[in-house]
Amino acid sequence: MNTVVSADGTRIAYEVSGDGPPLIIVDGAMCSRASGPARPLAAELATDFTVYAYDRRGRGDSPNAEFTPEREIEDIATLVKEAGGAAYLFGSSSGAMLALEAANEGVGATKLAMYEPPIITDDQHAPAPESALDDMRDLIAHDRRGDAVATFMRSVDVPGFVVAIMRLLPMWKKLKGVAHTLPNDLMLVEGLRQGRPLPTDRWTSATMPTLVGNGGKSPAYLRNSAAAMARVLPNATHTTLPGQTHLVKAKALAPVLRDFFLT
């Protein structure tokens, strides 16, 4: 494990594997290096890239600190600087939105890949409540971590009986341990989950080549939203990974990323 000091003094933990042009993986909600898709994906990509997998602040070995998108963008900018000043970015789920915001802010992303940003842009899914972010903040403020995790799970269509079973498993303690980071993931998609068209003037500085992907077996609203995102970005293409869902397999995703970043 390595650490790098972000702009506000927070030490961000990361690990590096492989050899080649630098690629930074940005995790989605509640994931970290030790619990999520980053390490399996890094293992698949290490033959062609120097892969940076890091713990977003408040997760894994990165300490709790101010949770705002701006601070998290600074974390990515610091990692890009550590990687030599330019890097490819890949983000999945809410991490895709964080990677996009970072790229738009000019952190040094030369190419950007996104997988299934968790937004709702049509009528294929019920709109998220306008109060979702405030409600989540309230749960965290009252230390109702289990309820916060359950609320988030239900918002991403995990069936109620599955949530009930998860509460009985050892993993639930780990999920509650990072529940305080959920408001930041909701901030990244605030205003983008109400079934409205995406703004055309929000990410105009993200002019680098961009790939927006989704799984062929994912819900229609996620597939449609990925395509919609590709249409509003300045230099983006859209692709579908056959047979994949929101929990995309590393072996299916890695060849797509390899082809995009290296061509």
Regarding whether 251 and 146 lie in a shared domain, the answer is no
In a domain, 7, yes or no: yes
User: Cα–Cα distance between 6 and 128 in angstroms, integer?
Assistant: 32
Regarding whether 205 and 99 lie in a shared domain, the answer is yes
DSSP letter, residue 6: -
Across the chain, mean pLDDT equals: 96
Region for residue 191 given its phi and psi (left: phi exceeds 0; alpha: psi -120 to 50; beta: otherwise): left
Regarding whether 204 and 184 lie in a shared domain, the answer is no
User: Cα–Cα distance between 42 and 26 in angstroms, integer?
Assistant: 11
In a domain, 93, yes or no: yes
In a domain, 126, yes or no: no
What is the predicted pLDDT for the residue at 65? 84
pLDDT in tens, 211-259: 999 999 999 999 999 999 999 999 999 999 999 999 999 999 999 999 9
Per cent of the chain over pLDDT 70 is: 100
Answer yes or no: are the C-beta atoms of 261 and 23 closer than 8 Å: yes
In a domain, 127, yes or no: no
DSSP letter, residue 216: T
Out of 164, 188, 212, pick the residue that ends a domain: 188
pLDDT in tens, 128-187: 999 999 999 999 999 999 999 999 999 999 999 999 999 999 999 999 999 999 999 999
Regarding whether 176 and 205 lie in a shared domain, the answer is no
The CATH number covering residue 88 comes to 3.40.50.1820
Regarding whether 27 and 105 lie in a shared domain, the answer is yes
Regarding whether 114 and 67 lie in a shared domain, the answer is yes
Q: In what order do the strands lie in the sheet with 109-115?
A: 2-5, 11-18, 50-54, 22-26, 87-92, 109-115, 210-215, 236-241
Look up the domain containing 146 and give its range: 132-188
Q: How many domains does the chain have?
A: 2
pLDDT in tens, 40-60: 999 999 999 999 999 999 999
User: Cα–Cα distance between 73 and 92 in angstroms, integer?
Assistant: 15
